Amino acid sequence: MKARLARLIYTAVLALVSPILLWGLYRKRPNKPEFGIRWKEHFGFTPVLRGVSAKVIWIHAVSVGEVLASKRLILDLKARYVDATILVTTTTSTGAEQVAAMEAGIEHRYMPIDFSWCVRRFLHVVKPSLLLVVETEVWPNTLRTVKKSGVPMLLVNARLSEKSQNNYQIIKDLISPSLAHFNQILTVHDDDTDRFIELGVAETRVSTMGSLKYDVSISESIKDQSELLKTSYTGRLVFVAASTHAGEDEMMLEAYKLTKVHVPNLLLVLVPRHPERFDSVFENIVSMGLLGARKTQLKDQTLEDSVDVYLADTMGEMLHILGASDMVFMGGSLLGKKVGGHNFVEPALLSKPCLTGPSYYNFQDIATQLMSVGALNVAEDAQAVSKYIRDFQACPAPYEQGATAGLSIVKANQGALSRALDIIDEYIA
């Protein structure tokens, strides 16, 4: 009874706030792909899938980060089940853009809003055989509707931070029944498993899988692109500030100005987290009196030595940008408890010394492992970032040795993809 009442209240609140949420989703922003007439898909008006397949494997990855995290899983499923249709749903248009870039015959549709009638209309058209939800996307009406339709559901690469667990405890009457709809929850770390169990998930339905993000492979193509990009930097010391948020860009630019006096050949490569901020970030570069260059506007691939900041205003190229760096800062970590950091696996996989701000609770486990071998360090402000760069420039060996040890840690943690595919096999069979 409590669960039903909680879901009714949730649905009523969602009905009230959905116009605001949709306005935020649809409003035009620089460098953000438009939905066009496909906005109808959010209301369950889903086009029929191409071809006829006996099985439809549905993967929901809400936006860019989740799509990239599940890319290997998506492509491996496509190769493994050649006669099945692989359907990826996203909520955002930037996520849709990443799915389209896979070019492997992957179908894409927008995820219906979390109203039962929208989801039922979607299910009537798509007729999925299995739903895989990437990371911790808990939509009560969707999960209940899919469960009632008889479609098995797995939550893969599931993370549950202490902060999220505390928030969920407040609305436990809504969240716990929703989580119970999953046939299996495959978590990243043991801590995540424990937190799901504390929320009421049966121990038999939750297990530690590891992170799909560890199972990244560096292709020869990426290595070649990294080498080409590195050549364009003409021997400069390259510091990449990756996945930065508003407020962090300014700190990275300030750190650059502090450091440039001591390290004249320093180049800052800025990779903002959200594409709609590309223009405003470039304006910040100019307003701080620095000479910037944008990747999308660079006619000649070779940067002039006078360029201070190279703005990577593209999507889906993080690996080869990191591969061409000397050291990396991972964003989302200098904003107090607002974000909680971003994943350190890619720089570690590329053996790059890495820096983070003090807020990295989303990746506490891997951060602790990397810090223990010197592959990851913490800086609390622009001054500390500047000192890190200067110390690296003066004596890079200890940082590079730590980064090599970090690669070993990532390799030791790999295998989540294989474990996930084995479990998926049971449901597809």
User: Looking at residue 360, what DSSP letter applies?
Assistant: -
Taking alpha carbons only, the member of 240, 265, 326, 253 closest to residue 292 is 253
Pair (87, 200) in one structural domain:
yes
pLDDT of 137 over the 90 cut: no
- Rounded-to-integer distance, Cα 160 and Cα 377, Å: 24
**92 and 53 within one domain:** yes
Tell me the C-alpha distance between 313 and 297, whole Å.
Answer: 9
- Give yes or no for residue 14 having a pLDDT over 90: yes
User: How many structural domains are present in the chain?
Assistant: 2
- Work out the pLDDT band at 299, boundaries 50, 70, 90: low
Q: How confident is the model at residue 301 (pLDDT cuts 50, 70, 90)?
A: low
Query: Are 263 and 322 members of one domain?
Result: yes
Specify whether 151 is located in the same domain as 229.
no
Mark whether 110 and 125 lie in a shared domain. yes
- What CATH number has the domain bearing residue 121? 3.40.50.11720
Domain identity same for 371 and 333: yes
The token duo for 406 is: 């970090």
pLDDT for res 364: 82
At 240-282, the pLDDT tens digits run 999 999 999 999 999 999 999 999 999 999 999 988 899 999 9
In a domain, 7, yes or no: no
The mean pLDDT value for 184-212 works out to 92
Residues 224 and 145 in one domain: no
Residues 303 and 316 in one domain: yes
Give the percent of the chain with pLDDT over 70: 99
- In a shared domain, residues 321 and 207: no
22/2 Cα distance (integer angstroms): 29
Both 379 and 395 in one domain: the answer is yes
The total of other beta-carbon atoms located within 10 Å of residue 165's CB is 17
Asked if residue 401 is part of any domain, the answer here is yes
Could you give the CA distance from residue 298 to residue 315 in angstroms, rounded to a whole number?
16
So what's the pLDDT on residue 275?
86
Higher pLDDT, 338 or 11: 11
CA-based R_g, the chain, Å: 22
The CATH number assigned to the domain holding 341 equals: 3.40.50.2000
Residue 2 in domain = no
Q: What is the mean pLDDT of residues 321-336?
A: 94
Range from 92-96, 130-134, 264-268, 361-365 carrying the lowest mean pLDDT = 361-365
Asked whether residue 108 is assigned to any structural domain, the reply reads: yes
The confidence band for 219, taking pLDDT boundaries of 50, 70 and 90, is confident
Specify whether 201 is located in the same domain as 290. no
Band (pLDDT 50/70/90 cuts) for residue 362 is confident
Q: How far is CA 301 from CA 231, 233, 270, 294, 310, in A?
A: 9, 9, 17, 11, 12
Q: Clarify whether residues 224 and 86 are in a common domain.
A: no
Mean pLDDT (the chain, rounded): 91
- 57, β-bridge pairs: 86, 130
Establish if 1 belongs to a structural domain.
no
Q: Is residue 340 predicted with pLDDT exceeding 90?
A: no
Mean pLDDT of the 345-371 span: 91
Rounded to 10°, the helix 172-179/162-170 angle is: 110
Q: Please state which of the ranges 298-302, 309-313, 390-394 shows the lowest mean pLDDT.
A: 298-302
Q: How confident is the model at residue 69 (pLDDT cuts 50, 70, 90)?
A: confident
Is residue 408 included in any domain, yes or no?
yes
The parent domain of residue 197 ranges over 29-215+415-428
197, 206 in Cβ contact below 8 A?
Answer: yes
What element of type H or E holds 82? none
Q: Residue 204 gets which letter from DSSP?
A: G
Domain-embedded: residue 311 = yes
- Residue 194 domain-assigned? yes
For residues 22-41, average pLDDT: 88
pTM across the whole model: 0.77
Give the residue among 233, 410, 408, 387 at the shortest CA–CA distance from 325: 233
